[in-house]
Structure 1
Amino acid sequence: MADMDQQPREDLSGEAACRKIRELAKDARMCMLVTDVTDYPGDVRPMAIQKVEDDGTFWFLSSGASEKNGDIAHDARVILTIQNDEKYEYLALSGVASVHTDRVTIDKYWTDYANAWFDGKDDPRITVICVKPVDGHYWQTHSGKVMSFIKTSLSAITGSKTSDGGVDGDLKV
């Protein structure tokens, strides 16, 4: 197994943190959204990502009657987790959410995929959740899934400590 104490670490802030968020989230279509974070274990559910902006802001469509919208109205602090198992890339973000109901924002983030949950773009239940990350942590393997598996397997067989070619670090947006 890779020696986590020797794995390269790269903490990022500002624009560099935003770039890393965009890089790791660009291929993600889904993530886990945690609301009601003060009441352990919180409420966790999968969400379809509509868009990730240049500043790392995430956008989601949601029903105005959903529990998550109520949770956000009560406490806007949320957690997002994203994983790309193909590349062994992972992202955990803490942020602040807001709910938008204006037609311009709904039109901007609407996709036909949302028809599975709503009765078209004019469904009065549609809201848009915006999550602005504040901080987080990322884990990224540069050599990819296959090479990481080979390196980890070799380490397990030989007992040697080897890097899986990854890097991790804190993010401060």
Structure 2
Amino acid sequence: MEQQQVKKRIEEIVDKNVIGILSSVENNKPYARYMTFLNEDLTLYTPTSKETYKVEEIEKNANVHVLLGYQGEGFGDEYVEVSGKASIRDDKQLIEDLWIDDLDNWFEGKDDPNLIFLEIKPESIRLMNGRGEPPQSLDLK
């Protein structure tokens, strides 16, 4: 599969699947949790409270892994693996730009003092489980 096709398919999966798994590291052990993901040019953003364990974990070790897309349909059910570095973003303009009304379920609006976004800059992205295809890595250069 050509890089342009790989990128297009990855973008489709990431755009369509806003719920995924974020894994971080604490004391050399992985911790995973379901999160809501938004993206801008394959940089992922996930809202969270600054008072969560994941924020403490990322402050100590910024390496994260994200899974997006698997629908449980079995063989050939494509998904995306993203490995990258996470950073904590609390700037008001970013929060304004990324806010979606569904976040009202967890936060007291855009001005919630605990609302932050984790920004995940990909270091590698792989398209997984394409029908009979080996994993396809996207060239991020």
TM superposition score category, shorter chain reference: 0.7 to 0.9
Greater fraction helix: 1
Distance 2:16 2:138 in 1: 19
TM-score (norm 2): 0.84
Per-residue CA deviations over 1:36-78 (Å, capped at 9, x if unaligned) read 17612x11001111x2112x10111110011111111111110
Name the SS for the 1:26 alignment partner.
helix
8 Å Cα contact 1:76/1:96 also seen in 2:
yes
Shift of 1:20: 4.2
Matched, 1:61 2:47: yes
8 Å Cα contact 1:57/1:130 also seen in 2:
yes
8 Å Cα contact 1:22/1:52 also seen in 2:
no
Shift of 1:139: 1.9
Partner of 2:135: 168
Per-residue CA deviations over 1:139-160 (Å, capped at 9, x if unaligned) read 253xxxxxxxxxxxxxxxxxxx
Per-residue CA deviations over 1:93-151 (Å, capped at 9, x if unaligned) read 1101111111111111111111111112211000011101111321253xxxxxxxxxx
Distance 1:98 1:120 in 2: 22
Percentage of matched positions with identical amino acids: 26
**Aligned residue identity for 2:108:** D
Spell out the pairing of 1:15-164 with structure 2 (5 A cutoff): 18-36=7-25, 39-40=28-29, 42-49=30-37, 51-54=38-41, 56-85=42-71, 88-141=77-130, 164=131
Greater fraction strand: 2
8 Å Cα contact 2:6/2:136 also seen in 1:
no
Instruction: From the CA coordinates, give the structure whose radius of gyration is larger.
Output: 1
TM-score (norm 1): 0.69
Aligned length: 137
Gaps of 5+ in 1: 1-9, 142-163
